[in-house]
Structure 1
Amino acid sequence: MKIRERQTSHMIDFLFPLALFFCFAVSAIVLILMATGIYRSTTESSARNHVGRTALAYVSEKLHQGDADGDVFIGALGEEPALVLRRQSDGGTYCTYIYEYEGALRELFLKEGAEVPPENGSVIAEIKAFSMEKISDGLFSFVCREESGETLTHLVSVRSQSAGGTGHE
């Protein structure tokens, strides 16, 4: 009879640590799978926001670089509305146009008055839509809709007194 008790005791001594290890392994796998899902959704969200935020930061920086008295305004490149940054250089007047065309935010640098089709602009970022509005003297609103459908809005203030018109002033 003692032999049987001894064998049962040994069986429990073996099964309990095995069951404990199994529970630990399953918990670790579940935790890793959950962490992977959270990491994936965070990186996807970050990547989605990156395009729109980068485009808006680019526009904001270009606007501040071109901030001069009356040389920043919302105009047009052909039929496309555009942020226009006008600058005097080498005896001529040149304009940088920032606009949305065919699903991309684009930039084009031209001599003032030159006629160039909007598809010639350099692509800055692939976006769904981009709009701009003069809120008040020196304050612009830019709205970027990303391919994911998320909409980002950015307000930018220029420091020059008469900046922010809607055409050549």
Structure 2
Amino acid sequence: MKMFFTQLQGLAKDIEDQEDIIEDAARLLAMSIVSDGSVYWYSEGEMDGIVTQAMTGDDGIPDSKRWSEAHSLSEQDTVVICSKWRDSVSASDVAKRAEEAGATVIGITSAMSVSKDKHDWTTGAELLLVNGVSKGLIPSEDGETRIGTPHLLAGLHVYYTLFFVLRDILDDQMA
């Protein structure tokens, strides 16, 4: 546990180092919110916890909606894609649709790179927030594998950092 928590602290530091990108992402979200646009959230697998937090949590983001093909997007909208895989075909489809509509795309993903022969949906993202998880944080007993891949935990850390900056921006706009 001590090793895991030490590694988590390292991930938190790496997320803090993205302060400028997080501020830019918060500004883009604020622009959608104040311009009567919407913030659409798309997720895959365990990263759906971020979408649940954004939409229904005590610290949710205003004007948030779950991504659906039924929504028609506009240039005032922002689509946040939460996927641990940068070569996800479905995330690529969502990013492409958002780009075609002129909506802004923000990505929350892992640090994993994509092999050259695969499509990387993050290339179309205006901003990319990286949670820093690329493999298990600690070696297993056999030493062959690594365990403890907290994609959601690190993704929620990114979310909360983004949330606090966004709240400051929105509070300043209301004052």
Task: State TM-score, norm by structure 1.
Answer: 0.32
* Higher share of residues assigned helix: 2
Structure having greater relative contact order (Cα 8 Å, sep ≥ 6): 2
Report the structure number with the largest CA radius of gyration: 1
Task: State TM-score, norm by structure 2.
Answer: 0.31
* Higher share of residues assigned strand: 1
